[in-house]
Amino acid sequence: MSSEQSYTRNQIKKISLYAMLTAVCIIIGYVESLVELSFIAPGVKVGLSNSIACVLVFYGDIKGAFAVNISRILLTALLFGSPVSLCFALAGGIISLTVMALLKKCRFLSVIGVSALGGALHNVAQCAVGLVFVGRGVIFYLPVLLAFGVACGAAVGVLSKLILARIGKSEKNVR
Amino acid sequence: MKKGDIFVIAAVCILAAALAGVFFALKKDGKTVLVKVDNEVVCEYPLDTDREIVLEHNTAVIRNGEAYMREADCKNQICVKSGKISKRGECIVCLPNRVILEIK
């Protein structure tokens, strides 16, 4: 990057928007980490910050969704996490976003269904990482993680739907 | 909310319930508890004798055929809150200290 102006106005706008959304995600994530849900399975969270990625996907900005989500994961790992927690978060984040980006085109699913499946697969991916890092015993968490993932994903979907309606992207004109 | 949403949510819940059923049916009472630190087996004790296992950062307890983590010096205390284990394949993990209790 040189000192001369090399970005267009639009690009600068986008970069600032992504930066802001990333910051919002990290704050949501931090607030969530204060809520103790470890009786379900170690380290589970509702993942409300995923609604931002979900909104971006349905807004049609899949690249932006990946950018925000991956920066969120990297920064959260640097601030509060460890290399192992980074692997868990990256696997979950990338898989769920990919699934949501693909399912978005599915005509019989709304934001809620797409997000619910994203949530479920997020937890399946994390379970797979757990198999590598922790051991085979992790597989016993899979049923509860699936159910919890789908419930949280649906909740995130409802939230995303509300946000999309507020920013003038109701489902009809998204498609 | 579309019909498809309800369908996929129900499908995943049914899958989860089915998996839980399968896992529960496959679970058998374990015989020993394996203690691993840094993924290496440190010791193995039978579940039918009560004892206390003192490790560098954690204290585990075997009582009445069940094993649990009584103390850990980490700040999240997830392993302590994990409860008791007794079925084959169950485990308690303390990620900060890299300690694993596993039933065999």
Q: What is the 3-state secondary structure (H, E, C) of B22-54?
A: HHHHHCCECCEEEEEECCEEEEEEECCCCEEEE
State pLDDT tens for residues B36-84: 998 889 999 999 889 999 998 899 999 988 999 998 998 888 889 888 9
B15 touches chain A (CB under 8 A): yes
Res. A171: pLDDT tops 80: no
Q: What are the Cα distances from residue A3, in Å, to A7, A9, A11, A14, A18?
A: 11, 15, 16, 19, 22
CATH number at residue A119: 1.10.1760.20
Domain limits for position A92: 9-174
Domain limits for position B86: 32-103
Res. A107: pLDDT tops 90: no
Whether A106 is in a domain gets the answer: yes
Which is it for strands B32-37 and B40-46: parallel, antiparallel or unpaired? antiparallel
Res. B6: pLDDT tops 80: yes
Whether A3 is in a domain gets the answer: no
Answer yes or no: do B47 and B96 share one domain. Answer: yes
Please tell me the distance from the alpha carbon of residue B2 to that of residue B14, in angstroms, as a whole number: 19
A71: buried, middle or exposed (CB in 10 Å: 19+, 13-18, 0-12)? middle
Q: Name the helix (H) or strand (E) containing B17.
A: helix B3-26
Closest CB to B8 among A117, A134, A139:
A117
Answer yes or no: do B65 and B39 share one domain. Answer: yes
Q: Find the range with the poorest average confidence among A30-44, A116-130, B72-86.
A: A30-44
Answer yes or no: do B15 and B37 share one domain. Answer: no
Whether A44 is in a domain gets the answer: yes
User: In this complex, do B2 and A143 lie within 8 Å of one another by their Cβ atoms?
Assistant: no
List chain B residues with CB under 8 Å of A117: 8, 12
Portion of chain A with pLDDT greater than 70, in percent: 93
pLDDT at A136: 79
CB B65 within 8 A of CB B82: no
Answer yes or no: do B14 and B54 share one domain. Answer: no
- Helices of type H across chain A: 9-33, 50-59, 62-80, 83-103, 111-133, 142-166, 171-174
Whether A1 is in a domain gets the answer: no
List chain A residues with CB under 8 Å of B69: none
Answer yes or no: do B46 and B5 share one domain. Answer: no
Answer yes or no: do B52 and B95 share one domain. Answer: yes
List chain B residues with CB under 8 Å of A110: 1-2, 4-5
Domains in chain A: how many in total?
Answer: 1
Answer yes or no: do B24 and B38 share one domain. Answer: no
Say which residue the tokens 């004892």 belong to: B51
Answer yes or no: do B53 and B85 share one domain. Answer: yes
CB B63 within 8 A of CB B56: no
CATH number at residue B90: 2.60.320.10
User: In this complex, do B78 and A143 lie within 8 Å of one another by their Cβ atoms?
Assistant: no
B101 touches chain A (CB under 8 A): no
Domains in chain B: how many in total?
Answer: 2
When pLDDT is averaged across residues A140-159 and rounded to a whole number, the result is 93
Q: How far apart are the first and last CA of chain A?
A: 37
Q: Is the ipTM of this complex over 0.85?
A: no
Whether A47 is in a domain gets the answer: yes
CB A65 within 8 A of CB A101: yes
Answer yes or no: do B20 and B51 share one domain. Answer: no
Res. A7: pLDDT tops 60: yes
Say which residue the tokens 């802001």 belong to: A20
pLDDT at A75: 94
Q: CA triplet A95, A85, A104: central angle to 5 degrees? A: 20
Residue of chain B with shortest Cα separation from A171: B1
